[in-house]
Amino acid sequence: MANKNISYQDAYYKNEADANRYMSYVNAAAGILALIIWVLYLVKVFTIPDHFYLAVCILFPVISVIMLVPLFFVKTKMIWKPGYKYFILFSLLAVIIALNIAIPKHSLLFWPFAVLIANHYYNPRIGRVIFGISIISMLLCLYIGMFFGEFDENLFGGGVVMPDGSVGTVETFEERWQLLHNLMLSGNNRYIKVLVYYFFPRAMIITLFFMVSNLLNRRTYLLLDKEIRIHDEQEKAKTELNVAKEIQLNTLPEEIVDSKDVEIVGELKAAKEVGGDLYDYLDIDEDHVAVLIGDVSGKGVPAAMFMMKTITSFRDFAAPNKTPSEILREVNSSIFKGNKKSMFVTCFLAILDKKNGKVVYANAGHNPPIIGSDKKFHYLKCKSGFLLGCMKDAIVSDEEITLRPGESITLYTDGITEARDINGNFFGEERLLNIFNKQNYTFSVELHHAIKDGVANFVQDAPQSDDITFVTMKFQGSDYSYQEKSFDAKMENVPEMLNFISDFGKGFNFPEDFRNKLVIVGDELFSNIIKHGYEDNGGVIFVRLLFDKDKNEFALTVIDKAKPFNQLEVNNPEVGSDAKTQTIGGLGIMIVKKIMTEYAYDRINDKNILVLKKSFESK
């Protein structure tokens, strides 16, 4: 066992603990049996020599107590102790030995039982030890029982002929010794006959039981070993996939960008541990931002590797004064090299000019995006282009549209439109477009959340068959100013976070009463995240502040990696209700909602994202 790995040891000892638990019940049953035999002896159901009376009266109650003791340890950590099994097994052997001495005629069948019970453990060595002890103990018990135990005429060659010619029994130790001596003198050596005719047949039966049970024990032991090794390999592979997933997610950009002139929200939800979908966005220069989405053929690790290669190539070749088609052609040349498995990727790349909203885009066999605003969304009519990675030269071309302030463009993969419910029906393009035109969305986060909810409500319990990825870029077209900062999620840092908000307001001459209200909002939100989200275990809180000078509009974005925690869903308490019965944070969140006019929440890539907005009158 010394060279086994830790996970095997854990599994082995778990099985051993289970065996200890069951053996505790078996021992308790044996203890109860010993009590029953003791009571039967007291009422003279069977007889034992008088000189053995005191021993029986003491031995059987003591044995019963010992056998019942393990019941008190079943619910404790004692059953996990390596030595605990020896206490159980040897106490069981002690009972069998005592029974075979006291009543050999009725207890010989317990020896195979001891061997079978020992092989209940996944350790052939224990079975061999108990077998050896049982064989030796059985022989000794037979000889000891000839003198001290219940009178067994079979040990004396049938009925015993007394010196006066009568047939009967002998009770005292001296009488039995004299009888055995007389039998030996008459040519009937009972020691040898007991060994040959009484011990060996039963030893052979026990040996047969041992061989069969030990073979089963060995087989079970090897099966356990194989099962654990397979489990170890699966866990190792799972760990490696989790690492790959972490690396892949870290390759993606931030989930939300809300800066001057543009708001971007993106998410990737892989069908497996790792996926082949991709999205990316980056500032090419001060005035241009590029947004990319793609879908690699296949699933799993190969697709994830190809996905990362595509993103890396995009970041290498995206540069000022390059058009989307030029970038995609260079990406194609890069991923085509060494692509022996003939994998491919569909891509859509758009570059936004933040000064005027002009979008230049190129499509390489991807789904057409959705553009628009205020319930006036539609699918963009664009050329399909050709897949990347299949051919040395990519066939893609540039096209152009112009977004008005407030309009957005949403790129997505077919994991959304081809999502299926339990009946095999597709979600489809029409349902997706209906979500966009269902209501007005103040924040891209609201739209993002509506898309996820729409797909989830349609799919219900059906398994996810494909990666789901989508990214929305909204053209603000306003004169935005913003600041952002990360804080350690500790209560002592809350004043620093509040000062960050207050100082931002002072810098843009926010009215004092409005600044004070923002401090109240921040205090409630940050405290809830620290206490109820992170549960005072530490973490990071990311805060972004934006101010639209034209509209006198303030926006607060708070991002954390705590457990799923939507503060906006906290029920508003009834005014005047008992404070003890109110939901934690309910009153504070009600105040936050009264102060801020618009708010939205979403859970994206294991992060809570909360956005709040407020317009105010300037002095």
Given this model, what pLDDT does residue 326 score?
94
Kindly state whether residue 155 falls inside one of the protein's structural domains: yes
**Residues 146 and 98 sit within 8 Å (Cβ to Cβ):** no
Q: Which residue has the tokens 């998410």?
A: 267
Rounded to whole angstroms, how far apart are CA atoms 430 and 451?
Answer: 13
- Using alpha carbons only, how large is the chain's radius of gyration in Å? 41
Kindly state whether residue 239 falls inside one of the protein's structural domains: no
CATH number of the domain at 519, please.
Answer: 3.30.565.10
Claim to verify: residue 437 and residue 535 sit in the same structural domain: no
Given this model, what pLDDT does residue 441 score?
86
Claim to verify: residue 465 and residue 494 sit in the same structural domain: no
Claim to verify: residue 353 and residue 438 sit in the same structural domain: yes
More confident call, 489 vs 151: 489
Comparing 303-307, 386-390, 511-515, the range with the smallest average pLDDT is: 303-307
Given this model, what pLDDT does residue 130 score?
84
Rounded to whole angstroms, how far apart are CA atoms 308 and 328?
Answer: 15
Strand partners, 546: 482, 555
Rounded to whole angstroms, how far apart are CA atoms 280 and 266?
Answer: 8
Residue 332 sits at φ, ψ, to 5 deg, of -60, -45
| Among candidate residues 463, 460, 438, 461, the one with its CA nearest the CA of residue 451 | 438
Given this model, what pLDDT does residue 427 score?
93
Residues sharing a CB contact under 8 Å with residue 340, sequence separation 6 or more, in sequence order: none
One DSSP character per residue, 244-313 reads HHHHHHHHS--SEEEETTEEEEEEEE-SSSS-SEEEEEEESSSSEEEEEEEEESS-HHHHHHHHHHHHHH
Task: Show the beta-strand stretches assigned E in 8-67.
Answer: none
Claim to verify: residue 511 and residue 440 sit in the same structural domain: no
- Local structure of residue 320 (DSSP, 8 states): T
Given this model, what pLDDT does residue 3 score?
41
Q: What is Dmax (Cα atoms) for the chain? A: 132
Claim to verify: residue 181 and residue 326 sit in the same structural domain: no
3-state SS, residue 275: coil
Given this model, what pLDDT does residue 227 score?
75
Comparing 41-55, 201-215, 370-384, the range with the smallest average pLDDT is: 41-55
Given this model, what pLDDT does residue 573 score?
44
Claim to verify: residue 165 and residue 86 sit in the same structural domain: yes
Claim to verify: residue 414 and residue 498 sit in the same structural domain: no
The last residue of a domain, from among 452, 475, 498 = 475
**Residues 370 and 377 sit within 8 Å (Cβ to Cβ):** yes
Mean pLDDT of the chain: 80
**Residues 395 and 406 sit within 8 Å (Cβ to Cβ):** no
Rounded to whole angstroms, how far apart are CA atoms 281 and 288?
Answer: 11
Comparing 140-144, 394-398, 446-450, 610-614, the range with the smallest average pLDDT is: 140-144
Strand partners, 264: 257, 473
Rounded to whole angstroms, how far apart are CA atoms 26 and 18?
Answer: 13
Given this model, what pLDDT does residue 244 score?
61
pLDDT at 609 over 70: yes
Given this model, what pLDDT does residue 519 score?
92
Claim to verify: residue 393 and residue 491 sit in the same structural domain: no
Kindly state whether residue 385 falls inside one of the protein's structural domains: yes
Given this model, what pLDDT does residue 576 score?
42
Given this model, what pLDDT does residue 249 score?
67
Helix (H) or strand (E) holding 483: strand 480-488
More confident call, 60 vs 266: 266
Claim to verify: residue 375 and residue 487 sit in the same structural domain: no
Claim to verify: residue 138 and residue 178 sit in the same structural domain: yes
Each residue's pLDDT tens digit, 253-305:
776 676 667 888 888 887 776 677 889 998 898 889 999 999 988 777 778 78
pLDDT at 174 over 60: yes
- Local structure of residue 5 (DSSP, 8 states): -
Is the whole model's pTM more than 0.75, yes or no? no
Kindly state whether residue 436 falls inside one of the protein's structural domains: yes
Rounded to whole angstroms, how far apart are CA atoms 7 and 12?
Answer: 9
pLDDT band at 80 (very low <50, low <70, confident <90, very high): confident
Kindly state whether residue 550 falls inside one of the protein's structural domains: yes
**Residues 356 and 402 sit within 8 Å (Cβ to Cβ):** yes
Given this model, what pLDDT does residue 217 score?
72
pLDDT at 9 over 80: no
Rounded to whole angstroms, how far apart are CA atoms 253 and 513?
Answer: 37
Comparing 174-183, 197-206, 487-496, 512-521, the range with the smallest average pLDDT is: 174-183
Burial class (CB in 10 A: 0-12, 13-18, 19+), 20: buried
Rounded to whole angstroms, how far apart are CA atoms 314 and 389?
Answer: 13
Given this model, what pLDDT does residue 87 score?
81
Given this model, what pLDDT does residue 413 score?
92
How long, in residues, is the chain? 619
The last residue of a domain, from among 475, 500, 533 = 475
Rounded to whole angstroms, how far apart are CA atoms 184 and 604?
Answer: 93
3-state SS, residue 345: strand
Kindly state whether residue 26 falls inside one of the protein's structural domains: yes
The last residue of a domain, from among 201, 234, 267 = 234
pLDDT band at 568 (very low <50, low <70, confident <90, very high): confident
First CA to last CA distance, the chain: 79
CATH number of the domain at 408, please.
Answer: 3.60.40.10
pLDDT at 5 over 70: no
Q: For residues 181, 182, 188 and 190, what is the CA-based torsion angle, rounded to 10 degrees?
A: -40
Quote the number of domains for the chain. 3
Claim to verify: residue 502 and residue 462 sit in the same structural domain: no
Residue 274 exposure: Cα atoms within 13 Å on the Cβ side: 27
pLDDT at 204 over 60: yes
pLDDT band at 479 (very low <50, low <70, confident <90, very high): low
Strand partners, 607: 604
Claim to verify: residue 468 and residue 496 sit in the same structural domain: no
| Among candidate residues 433, 429, 417, the one with its CA nearest the CA of residue 378 | 433
pLDDT band at 536 (very low <50, low <70, confident <90, very high): confident
pLDDT band at 323 (very low <50, low <70, confident <90, very high): very high
Given this model, what pLDDT does residue 290 score?
93
- Local structure of residue 369 (DSSP, 8 states): P
More confident call, 454 vs 20: 454
pLDDT band at 558 (very low <50, low <70, confident <90, very high): very high
More confident call, 7 vs 288: 288
Kindly state whether residue 243 falls inside one of the protein's structural domains: no
Domain residues for the domain of 130 are 6-234
| Among candidate residues 143, 139, 135, the one with its CA nearest the CA of residue 118 | 135
Helix (H) or strand (E) holding 72: none
3-state SS, residue 239: helix
pLDDT at 434 over 90: yes
pLDDT band at 526 (very low <50, low <70, confident <90, very high): very high
pLDDT at 160 over 70: no
3-state SS, residue 471: strand
Task: Show the beta-strand stretches assigned E in 357-437.
Answer: 358-364, 370-372, 378-379, 398-402, 408-412
Given this model, what pLDDT does residue 488 score?
93
Kindly state whether residue 47 falls inside one of the protein's structural domains: yes
pLDDT band at 472 (very low <50, low <70, confident <90, very high): very high
Given this model, what pLDDT does residue 152 score?
65
